[in-house]
Structure 1
Amino acid sequence: MTAQNFQYSFTTSKGTAEVFAHLLNPKNWWVGLFEERIDGKSNAINDEFSFSAGGGAHFSNQKLTELVAGSKITWLVTESNLSFLHNTNEWAGTKLCFTIEEFGDQTKVTFTHDGLVPHFECYGGCSRAWTQYLQNLEQHLA
């Protein structure tokens, strides 16, 4: 049995190009819940941005490693400091991935936190937070 990465999917009537452009900027979707701060760039391969939230409870650095126009965005988490965990660097080496697929007049968006698996200490709390961010994104793109 393989480990199950956290994943969330939804569909929208927005086109793939519009969705892709929106997702490429994390300030458009990884905000609004826990006093987030995002610094850096995410436009081209090797761009990096940092994310902090919760008054210092979460810090991570992401590097854009895969970019397929209109269909895929992947960031590698190069560093993490999740102060509420025993292993504060638990996210390091995981990947944040969006895939975008056209289905007739709908666009399917799938987010996968590749490496965030149930045996991780933060799986429960992080999965709940991801679900909130992604539900907000889904509502925004409705």
Structure 2
Amino acid sequence: MNDYKKSISVNNSADEVYKALTEHIQDWWSDDFSGAAAQNGDQYNIAFGETKKTFEIADAIPGQQVVWVCLKAYIDMDTLKKKDEWVGTRIIWTIASEATGTTLTMLHEGLNQTIECYDVCEPGWNYFIQSLYTFLATGTGTPYLKKEGTLEWENK
């Protein structure tokens, strides 16, 4: 099974893309964020209502790559038997400078069709990668907002 993978091309510099992944996660993924994600060993907590995850930064190479490892996870879905499926998965962001901007490739190692939450997580990632793209293009993403408690893709 192939793990979830998606690439986007943006007009931003590699450094701007790197900062979006290390300093601006709350601007495109979820504003229910605490901790730090800027350097190796940093940890952060992120939540989407009662769905909560903790990540550690395993690798942070400015302008090139960021790797997050999921340490804790609770996916708040009644239909899931295993609510901590993300634990041990790695999210690898590879940043490549191009002549006209930057290509960002995200690989979520361990997120594939063999795990229960894939049918929810795949459209979720598609939504948030688009939010990241929009954040990089305009300065404003479409993150999960704690006060609103829902996302556009959840209601479709």
**TM-score, normalisation: structure 2:** 0.81
2:94 to 91, 99, 105: 99
For 2:39, the equivalent position in structure 1 comes to: 44
Corresponding residue number in structure 1 for 2:29 = 30
* Cα root mean square deviation, aligned: 1.2
What amino acid sits opposite 1:76 in the alignment? V
Unaligned runs of 5+ residues in structure 2 are 138-156
Output the CA distance in 1 between the equivalents of 2:42 and 2:22.
11
Distance 1:28 1:72 in 2: 19
Matched-pair contact (CA < 8 Å) for 1:50–1:62: yes
Does the 8 A contact of 1:23 with 1:29 survive in 2?
no
Give CA-to-partner distance per residue, 1:46-92, whole Å, 9 cap, x none.
Answer: 11001111x21x11110000111101000100111113121011000
Identity among equivalent pairs (%): 24
1:6 corresponds in structure 2 to 4
Count of residue pairs the alignment pairs up? 134
Distance, in Å, in 2 between the alignment partners of 1:71 and 1:43 is 13
Contact 1:38 1:52 in 2 (8 A): yes
Q: Secondary structure at the match of 2:92?
A: strand
Aligned to 1:68, which of 38, 61, 65? 61
After TM superposition, which residue ranges in structure 1, 4 or more long, deviate above 4 angstroms? Answer: none
Of 81, 90, 96, the match for 2:85? 90
Equivalent residue, structure 1, for 2:113: 118
2 CA distance for matches of 1:97 and 1:105? 23
CA distance in 1, matches of 2:44, 2:34: 5
In proportion to residue count, which structure has more strand? 1
The answer (yes or no) to whether the contact 1:62–1:76 under 8 Å persists in 2 is yes
Q: Which residue of 2 aligns with 1:109?
A: 104
